[in-house]
Structure 1
Amino acid sequence: MIATTVVGVPAVAAGAGGPCALPRSTAHHSEGLDSWHAGYPRPTRTLDALMLFLRFPDAVPYTTPRQLVDDHFPATTEFFRRASYGRFSLRVHPVTRWLEMPRDSTSYAIRRDWAPDRRTAYLRDAIATADRSVDFGRYDLVYLVADPDAPGIDADATKVVNFDRPLRADGAALRRLVTIFEHHPPDRNVLAHETGHVFDLPDLYHRPTGGGGDWDTRVGDWDLMGSQFGLAPEPFGWHKWKLGWLDASQVRCVREPGATTHALLPVSAPDPHDIPAPEGRPRLVVVRTGTARVLVIEARARYGNDAELCTEGVLVYRVRSDVASGDGPVEVLDGHPHSEACPDESVYPRLADAPLGVGERLDIRQDGVRVEVRGRTAHDAWLIRVTHTERP
């Protein structure tokens, strides 16, 4: 019954995207944005989240539900308000009392790689327990928060669980549930990361085989879907476009060979309303390099969710819409491959200084693209020149 993908739900048109909007594929959490998967709520309005708190017969909680609410809110709501330029509001509705599960915490054998039968039992028990007093039909998202100090709890098991066939409660189809097993206080931005999956965003980290190695080699600190601990957790501009927080007028599409010049506002900067033409308000340059891949160019600066980033500048990354979540759909291209930065704070210092500064350039030979940073404008935009020598 439990699966890691959602099936059988059609995609719907997501608005004008133009020739640089990659097509959605069957890959889990595809980075295609020519359409929207109708099985996911799109965060372009106010969404209501139900938060439930589960205790177990084998433990007495050391924390209160109100303390656990405060661990995540209003911080998560504020993260998305800043990231969406105010276009999306996440409104939480906590049931601030413990709901008693019918079995001991140890009986569910909670782990990151959870046995499907134990996970199914946990979710069925949780929904049945809450359904006596909660109307699930009123909410867009559901967070299930377990007593973090119960003996059977594994904090590494926090994740979104999707269903082959939705559970039903109060006439509502529950297609996914966010299961939270975090310590108190929790990991930084962990709930924003998991909520990103509810909006069809993929994992950008790489899980090494055999338990060793580094998880953050593909995107480093950039975008919280890579690491919730990153210094630059602001979502990539590509994700903002996918979610509906940027529109096609803020994206410059490069498809034909030639050289073009652009002024890019940092993706984390507040949405301006006083920048005159011809500079406009672009946030992204997208270079189409294949049927299912693009290069994306954006500016990153110390605003909002990126206030603690290591290196400001122009970031270049590759996006593929035919690669599944966790398999590398996004790859940051390192503008300084022979150096690193912020070794004491960065999750992957080799990519912490990936952005290009003024006077620097990056040649992506396999795609026939050169990116040069020419300067800055009075409105804090970054002036870039993109030379595209090959037709996709």
Structure 2
Amino acid sequence: MQQPTWRRIGPALRGTRPARRGIALGSVAALALAVTTSASTGRLMEGAQSAAGSVALARGTTLGPCMISGTMGVQMTEGVPTPPGYSRSTGTIRALNLMVDFSDAPGQGSAMDRLAEFFPQTSEWFRTSSYGRLDYRPESPLPDWLRMPKSFEEYGIERGAPFDPGYRTLVEDIVATADPDVDFRAYDFVNILITPNAGPSALDTVLSVTFAGNHEAPVADGVPVSNASFVYSRQDDGSGSYRETGYRVLPHENGHVFGLPDLYTQDGGGAVGHWDIMSEDWGANNDLLAWHKWKLGWLDDDQVGCAASSGTTEHTLSPLARSGGTKLAFAPLGEKTGYAIEARTRGGNDEAVCKPGVLVYRVDAEVDTGHGPVTVSDATPDSGGCTRRPNVHAELSDATYGVGETFTDRKTGVRVTVAGVTDDGDYRVHVTRP
């Protein structure tokens, strides 16, 4: 197998928070393996598996054209179903949390105080986003700081560092130190919560990173530590909101262990804005796109409308913040890409929505993580947006389409028109294709 690879994301645009390190990927063979499906039914071929919940189950023919997929070699593809190697994203999952410090960066305060920066908020975030389909149970069998045998400096960890050699050595030392008291087989993935005084401030350099699907990782109790999130520093922008927002780096990083890619690019969050936590995880709370919820198994098949045929179809979309109802309409543009349509309002995890309406975005299963696999269409380009909340991409904050407005792709002829809003607050959408 090839050595684990990684993606480094460059600095954000001036005026935005520092860009996050790109997710560090496992071996290309492990991650880029596209799950083979039957062309007629959309069922997984015998022997193929996915770790992303119910989205990997057999599909009806009506949704088959909307199950776009990437070719082998795409890193963290947006394709459905999610390739194997990631953690389960439905049902009960157990997350092992280890609080780690070093001789040159001793833990400040108690290790359990560090844990409390992220829980129970992270569990509640996933429960809300998944409509209760993900029961995230954090466990910390070691309540004290886990002291590493080397100094932080000796591991050579910095922005852009690959898995080898620094992270491999760190994981090996974590396993050796914790293994007498921890059965790694009992957990779905690992969160390494580093003492905040190790490394630079997140305001200067974001070190937090996830190694996902990495089956060349060190082995503990007979299983590879293949899905692990490392969190450094504190995402504190000085606005006084850290207690409410600082935990959100962990749902972002854990999104990777479930198989979700980074949606920001080298230019920052301008492709998706604050419409998905995989794009922006600083500032006010935000949710995942409906496409990601389908990909994770949090939506049933009857909550997705596939607009694959010529003509006009009508879809009544329930706001993403509410449970139940149709959440996603999708117009495929071939086997690799298409347009997703959903309704977004303020509620649930969506705290910063300032213009409720219908969000239209293009999903491309052939684009690598961190290179723009999702692009939101802006209904009001160059408007400056409708929010001035810190760390929220303003320009796309009013990207949603309202009643009577139409999105048109002149190249393909696909049109999306918001026809009206029901008394229950659902949005009636017409999708037209030649």
Measured after TM superposition, the shift of residue 345 of structure 1 is 3.5
Closer/same/farther in 2, CA of residues 202 and 382 from structure 1, 3 Å limit? same
In the alignment, the residues of structure 1 paired with residue 264 and residue 269 of structure 2 have an alpha-carbon distance, to the nearest angstrom, of 5
Q: Contact conserved, 1:204 with 1:219, CA < 8 A, in 2?
A: yes
The answer to whether the aligner puts 1:168 opposite 2:213 as a matched pair is no
Corresponding position of 1:211: none
In the alignment, the residues of structure 2 paired with residue 143 and residue 89 of structure 1 have an alpha-carbon distance, to the nearest angstrom, of 16
Corresponding position of 1:79: 125
Measured after TM superposition, the shift of residue 24 of structure 1 is 4.2
Corresponding position of 2:358: 314
Measured after TM superposition, the shift of residue 58 of structure 1 is 2.1
Tell me the secondary structure at the aligned position of residue 431 of structure 2: strand
Of 227, 244, 264, the residue aligned with 2:297 is 244
Corresponding position of 1:339: 383
In the alignment, the residues of structure 2 paired with residue 151 and residue 179 of structure 1 have an alpha-carbon distance, to the nearest angstrom, of 12
In the alignment, the residues of structure 1 paired with residue 215 and residue 357 of structure 2 have an alpha-carbon distance, to the nearest angstrom, of 42
Corresponding position of 1:371: 416
Measured after TM superposition, the shift of residue 86 of structure 1 is 0.4
- Per-residue CA shift, 1:12-34, capped at 9, x if unaligned? 2612142111124321111110x
Corresponding position of 2:249: 190
Q: Contact conserved, 1:6 with 1:175, CA < 8 A, in 2?
A: no
TM-score using structure 1 length: 0.89
Of 247, 252, 262, the residue aligned with 1:203 is 262
Corresponding position of 1:60: 106
Q: How many pairs align?
A: 373
- Per-residue CA shift, 1:269-328, capped at 9, x if unaligned? 1x24xxxxxxxx211110011220010010001110003322210000000111110111
Q: Contact conserved, 1:199 with 1:243, CA < 8 A, in 2?
A: yes
Tell me the secondary structure at the aligned position of residue 73 of structure 1: coil
Tell me the secondary structure at the aligned position of residue 349 of structure 2: helix
Closer/same/farther in 2, CA of residues 151 and 234 from structure 1, 3 Å limit? closer
TM-score using structure 2 length: 0.81
Of 394, 404, 415, the residue aligned with 1:359 is 404
- Report matched runs for 1:260-279 at 5 Å: 260-269=313-322, 271-272=323-324
Tell me the secondary structure at the aligned position of residue 189 of structure 1: helix
Closer/same/farther in 2, CA of residues 40 and 60 from structure 1, 3 Å limit? closer
In the alignment, the residues of structure 1 paired with residue 347 and residue 170 of structure 2 have an alpha-carbon distance, to the nearest angstrom, of 41
In the alignment, the residues of structure 2 paired with residue 82 and residue 199 of structure 1 have an alpha-carbon distance, to the nearest angstrom, of 16
Corresponding position of 2:206: 156
Amino acid across the alignment from 1:178: S
- Per-residue CA shift, 1:332-360, capped at 9, x if unaligned? 01111131221343532111100011222
Q: Contact conserved, 1:20 with 1:253, CA < 8 A, in 2?
A: yes
The answer to whether the aligner puts 1:380 opposite 2:425 as a matched pair is yes
In the alignment, the residues of structure 2 paired with residue 77 and residue 258 of structure 1 have an alpha-carbon distance, to the nearest angstrom, of 43
Closer/same/farther in 2, CA of residues 376 and 346 from structure 1, 3 Å limit? farther
Amino acid across the alignment from 1:242: K
Amino acid across the alignment from 2:102: F
Corresponding position of 2:335: 291
Measured after TM superposition, the shift of residue 255 of structure 1 is 1.1
In the alignment, the residues of structure 2 paired with residue 50 and residue 346 of structure 1 have an alpha-carbon distance, to the nearest angstrom, of 30
- Per-residue CA shift, 1:118-167, capped at 9, x if unaligned? 22222222222111221111100101111111367876111102435132
Tell me the secondary structure at the aligned position of residue 331 of structure 2: strand
Tell me the secondary structure at the aligned position of residue 326 of structure 2: coil
In the alignment, the residues of structure 2 paired with residue 365 and residue 376 of structure 1 have an alpha-carbon distance, to the nearest angstrom, of 26
In the alignment, the residues of structure 1 paired with residue 376 and residue 407 of structure 2 have an alpha-carbon distance, to the nearest angstrom, of 12
Measured after TM superposition, the shift of residue 113 of structure 1 is 0.9
- Per-residue CA shift, 1:83-137, capped at 9, x if unaligned? 1110111100012111111011222222121153222222222222111221111
Measured after TM superposition, the shift of residue 231 of structure 1 is 4.6
Measured after TM superposition, the shift of residue 366 of structure 1 is 2.0
Corresponding position of 2:40: none
Closer/same/farther in 2, CA of residues 196 and 151 from structure 1, 3 Å limit? closer
Of 261, 278, 287, the residue aligned with 1:234 is 287
In the alignment, the residues of structure 2 paired with residue 45 and residue 339 of structure 1 have an alpha-carbon distance, to the nearest angstrom, of 42
Closer/same/farther in 2, CA of residues 230 and 147 from structure 1, 3 Å limit? closer
Q: Contact conserved, 2:148 with 2:173, CA < 8 A, in 1?
A: yes
Report which stretch shifted further, 301-310 or 71-80.
301-310
Closer/same/farther in 2, CA of residues 67 and 260 from structure 1, 3 Å limit? same
The answer to whether the aligner puts 1:256 opposite 2:309 as a matched pair is yes
Measured after TM superposition, the shift of residue 8 of structure 1 is 4.3
Amino acid across the alignment from 2:335: T
In the alignment, the residues of structure 2 paired with residue 81 and residue 153 of structure 1 have an alpha-carbon distance, to the nearest angstrom, of 30
In the alignment, the residues of structure 2 paired with residue 347 and residue 184 of structure 1 have an alpha-carbon distance, to the nearest angstrom, of 14
Corresponding position of 1:108: 155
In the alignment, the residues of structure 1 paired with residue 71 and residue 283 of structure 2 have an alpha-carbon distance, to the nearest angstrom, of 28
Higher strand share: 1
Long gaps (5+) in structure 1? 208-213, 273-280
In the alignment, the residues of structure 2 paired with residue 291 and residue 184 of structure 1 have an alpha-carbon distance, to the nearest angstrom, of 39
Of 119, 127, 130, the residue aligned with 2:178 is 130
Amino acid across the alignment from 1:117: P
Measured after TM superposition, the shift of residue 7 of structure 1 is 4.4
Q: Contact conserved, 2:215 with 2:224, CA < 8 A, in 1?
A: no
In the alignment, the residues of structure 2 paired with residue 356 and residue 236 of structure 1 have an alpha-carbon distance, to the nearest angstrom, of 16
Report which stretch shifted further, 64-73 or 366-375.
366-375
